[in-house]
A and B are shown apart, each in its own frame.
Chain A
Amino acid sequence: MFSNIYKNSAFKRAEHEAVRQTVGWYYFTHFLVEVKGADAAKFLDWVCACPILSLAEGRARYTTILRDNALILDDVVVFHIEGDTFWLSSLFIKKILPWLTGHKEGYDVEITDITAAWDMYAVQGPLSKDLIGAIAKESVEGQKFFAIAHNEIAGVPVKVARGGFTGEAFGYEVYVPAAETKAIRGAISAEAGKLGGLQVTEFQVMVWTLPTEKGFIHMIDVEGLNPIEAGLDKGIAWDRDFIGKEALEKTRAEGAKRKLLGFVADNPDAHIPSRMLGAAGTPVIFGGEEVGRVTKYTYGFTAGKNIGYAIVDAGKVKPGDVVSLNDNTATLTVRVFV
């Protein structure tokens, strides 16, 4: 019968460890929305919880986008490409595109889904700078975290952003015109081979094992939460107006009633259904009472533990408490594991 799907998988471990120890690369195209026009910065500053008017050209910012009631609609990375042109990288275009277009009245902006035009390759890990440095025309030596710059790889104009979804100090995302994807893919793959890196092919590694160890979230983790409850309020500038601010200020004044915490499961083979695979997630039981639900559960190869997230009643449990999850004991933690 069941034994830990992740822990015992040599290829998943190898792909995970490549990112942590050398370099891992993978096709990681997200939905991409271009917001362009004289009012683009002003519009995004109003739509996003974090300020965008102060976002310098060539820089990126992670932010939530809130509904009027302050619940998170999406979390995105906003790139200030140049001048009046911004990109939003999202995994939730179905909601974000109608939301943006539905709120643009009075703003001089054009909003376009440019997903089909751009592929993105993630290059992550301690040797990622060496890899990009070897294949890019322009040096990335001085490129700061969350900066995006024009560059050229294999004769193809690309944009290289420093950052990623792995929590690595060095990681890059290469945006390439979709028609040229094979050339870039070939160049990255060849160089990775020279550096002892690997292609990450397993979805579970790119979206769960690597990001979860470092506390990254997906919308499924925070659906129904506001950014304070989700722990995503860092960077919100309260001295400006933005959609959802009024409702969020109430939580700010009263304190969050729910929290998105981490947990470590004791049993190495524990089976704990979570929202990341759909449905409601396993109930979090404390003192015989349901105090929350599991949103994510995976194995952290670097952490060497079964880890996950749960939305819990902040008044009833805290990090350090031992809870029961599908008849397995687990200890609640903060949301970073390595």
Chain B
Amino acid sequence: MKIDDRIPDGMGNGTLPDHASIKTPWEKLISFFDAYHYGLRHNAGLGALFFEVMRILIPDYEKRMERMAGLNYNIFYQTFASGFNKVHAGNHNVPPFVKGAMTAPLFGDSGDERLCMHGRVNDYGTYRVEKELDNCPFEIQGTEVCRLSALITEAIGDSFCQTGPEADEHKLKFIMSEARGAGDLHCRFIIESREKYPADDKPMWNAFEPAASLDQVQYTPEEKMVKEPQEFRGECDYKYRNGFNMESNATDQFRFGATNFILGANYVLPTIDDMIKKGETTQEEVENIFQCVFAGAGKMMFTEFFAAKGLRDWLGVPEGLNDGRVLGAYIEVLLQIWMGEYKVIAFNKDEVVYDITKLGGREHAHPLCAHAIISMWYGMARTLVGQRWFCERIREGVDEKTIRVKISKKIDKFAR
């Protein structure tokens, strides 16, 4: 295996100012700002595909939501009730006298800004909280993710209602009264106490139930909506800051995993695991569905000639170069955005090989994640590079912790 056509690491060091940026194999720089935003939107698309898998497995919306809601509520409740809730509250600078479910929206707020779901807190109190979002990269996933995000924040809120002197006092209902995923201009979380704002109970999955305090909504018109999260706004001194003066910047957010979190996959994968465990589907069936969905999406990404041309420009691919290195460069950019760890084993006109030891932080937690992503790269290879090119995972001679990905030409009479 050989590596060629790459500028050696370190060439030019110290001659020009250093910039925080992603580098393609041809030293084209992708700015931190672009990488951050691109990464989120890409992950949103990936998450959308995970939901498509879920829709194939459970076609009925309500049944699907019921299944995902119960399971994910429990996962988040247990995780946070184990003590992580208090640690996280400390990270958010929440003072000790703030007790109960009203703590959870603070986590939602910082997470929203981290994931470019920027907007504003309109109300924050013991009995009512209102958060309005002007943007959501994940709005393309469908409304399941909106409902689930409201529900799991409620689960986190509930985890705070079990301990301390204020125990059981401040349970809150988390409602999403507007959702960009449903076509609304804003996403609007209204979190209210049924003690002060009575309403009939709705099924757990239905976080879109009407809020009882709609008369208190503070609506931001389109012309006053914000275009970027706090950490990318000069008026905020390029820092996220909550009301308790917790502050973080985009560097912190990136390091915290903003761009390697596939929101959506985290709700789908445990549900699928549960279905396999209960014999409602099989590992083989699920893997096949993942391959169909992700490979199909990968092919479609570059079916149009202008899509491939646009990517080549973005990556700075040299004129005339059209082999596995084009896809390899794209994969490298993604891995850097995901804070992945990889080694270039081969990079030449005949083959490109990477040993990936960290694939966005999730592959070893769940093998289906790697399977899905590599299936997508498989599909991309067929249209981005050409029908003679394949991207596949090589397992022979590779240790279990390493994902070896090879892009090369081959003939496969059973190719999909």
Report B's interface with A, CB cutoff 8 A. 90-91, 93, 95-99, 102, 109, 120-128, 165-166, 169, 196, 215-219, 230, 233, 235-237, 240-246
Contact = CB atoms under 8 A, between A and B. Distances in A.
22 contacts: A2-B218, A3-B215, A3-B216, A27-B97, A28-B97, A119-B165, A203-B98, A203-B102, A203-B124, A204-B125, A219-B245, A220-B243, A220-B244, A223-B241, A271-B122, A275-B243, A277-B123, A278-B121, A278-B240, A279-B236, A280-B230, A293-B235
Contacts of B125: 202-204
A277 B218 contact: no
A5 B196 CA distance: 13
B241 A275 contact: yes
Given A2-B219, A204-B126, A273-B120, A279 B241 contact: yes
Contacts of A91: 93, 95, 244
A278 B102 contact: no
A29 B99 CA distance: 10
Given A119-B165, A280-B233, A220 B245 contact: yes
Given A2-B216, A31-B96, A278 B230 contact: yes
B126 A277 contact: no
Chain A interface size, under 10 / 10 to 19 / 20 to 34 / 35 or more: 35 or more
A2 B217 contact: yes
Of B99, B166, B244, B246, most buried by chain A (CB within 10 Å of CB) is: B244
B128 to A, nearest CB: 8
A94 interface: yes
A11 B121 CA distance: 22
A59 interface: no
Given A271-B122, A277-B124, 4 more contacts: A1-B217, A203-B124, A275-B243, A283-B235
A169 to B, nearest CB: 23
Of B121, B218, B241, B245, most buried by chain A (CB within 10 Å of CB) is: B245
Contacts of A94: 90-91, 93, 246
B109 A278 contact: yes
A194 interface: no
Interface in A211-230: 218-220, 223-224
Contacts, number: 98
A278 B241 contact: yes
Interface in A1-47: 1-3, 5, 11, 26-31
Contacts of A278: 109, 120-121, 230, 240-243
A185 interface: yes
Contacts of A120: 97
A204 B243 CA distance: 12
A93 to B, nearest CB: 8
A276 B165 CA distance: 26
A201 interface: yes
A331 interface: no
Contact of A279 (B95, B120, B166): B120
A202 B170 CA distance: 10
B126 A201 contact: yes
B235 A280 contact: yes
A182 B121 contact: no
A279 to B, nearest CB: 5
A31 B96 CA distance: 7
B245 A181 contact: no
Given A27-B166, A31-B95, A5 B120 contact: no
A85 interface: no
Contacts of A277: 120-124, 243
Contacts of B240: 278
A280 B121 CA distance: 12
Contacts of A280: 230, 233, 235-237
Nearest to A182: B165
Contacts of B246: 94
Given A5-B216, A278-B109, A278-B242, A27 B99 contact: yes
A120 B219 CA distance: 37
Interface in A122-179: none
B119 to A, nearest CB: 9
